[in-house]
Amino acid sequence: MVIIKLGCYTLCDAYFRRNIKYFKERILVIIYVSGPYSAEKEEDRLKNTQTAIDIGIELIRKGHTVLIPHLSHYTDMRAQELGIELPLECWMKQDLELLEGCDALFFIGESKGACIELERAKELGLQIFYSMEEVPGVKVEE
Distance of alpha carbon 108 from alpha carbon 106, whole angstroms: 6
Label the pairing between strands 104-107 and 30-34. parallel
Q: What is the pTM (predicted TM-score) of this model? A: 0.77
pLDDT in tens, the chain (142 residues): 444 444 444 444 455 455 555 555 555 589 999 999 988 998 999 999 999 999 999 999 999 999 999 999 999 999 999 999 999 899 999 999 999 999 999 999 999 999 999 999 999 999 999 999 999 988 655 5
| Radius of gyration, alpha carbons of the chain | 17
CATH topology of domain 28-134: Rossmann fold (3.40.50)
Contacts of 105 (CB under 8 A, 6+ apart): 31, 32, 33, 34, 99, 117, 118, 121, 126, 127, 128, 129
pLDDT of residue 138: 81
